[in-house]
Amino acid sequence: MAEAAQAAFGDLDLLLAEFDTTHGDHDTARGALIDFYLSTEQRDQPGTGRRTAGFAGDTTRESTAGEVRETYAAGVEEFAAWMSTDANDGLPVVATLVGAILLARATAGTELSEKILASTHKALTAPHRP
């Protein structure tokens, strides 16, 4: 399980690097990733979508959780560092993204699922007020 989590976060690292390369500057890449992560395509493809969310539940049930949790925690910290801005450390954004996609997948096929994706997107992309 630790190897699978490590592979999932390795895939995420490649995706984040691709977003940085494709979008030129990191702020634009961060916004594009939020768009991508909260898309109906990601919601509807849990097997091929971001495995960060999928492994969250599996990790809590793993009997040899020490190594798995350390691997998962390191991946979450790296994801949060990539998502960080001057205004935050990225952890609330990662937690919100992962929670939203889990809830949207659990309610797929309902109006609530669409509302979860849309309202979370709005909350994460709204301009910050001083």
pLDDT digits 0-9 by tens, 57-116: 555 555 655 777 888 888 889 999 999 988 778 999 999 999 999 999 999 999 999 999
Q: What is the pLDDT of residue 117?
A: 98
Q: Angle at which helices 65-83 and 51-61 pack, to 10 degrees? A: 150
Take residue 109 and report the two structure tokens written for it. Answer: 């096929």
pLDDT above 60 for 122: yes
Which of residues 49 and 27 earns the better pLDDT score?
Answer: 27
- Reported pTM: 0.81
Give Cα 56 to chain centroid, integer Å: 11
What's the confidence (pLDDT) of residue 128?
62
Q: Does the pLDDT of residue 50 top 80, yes or no?
A: no
Could you give phi then psi for residue 100, rounded to 5 degrees? -65, -45
Tell me how far apart the alpha carbons of residues 121 and 31 are, in angstroms, rounded to a whole number: 10
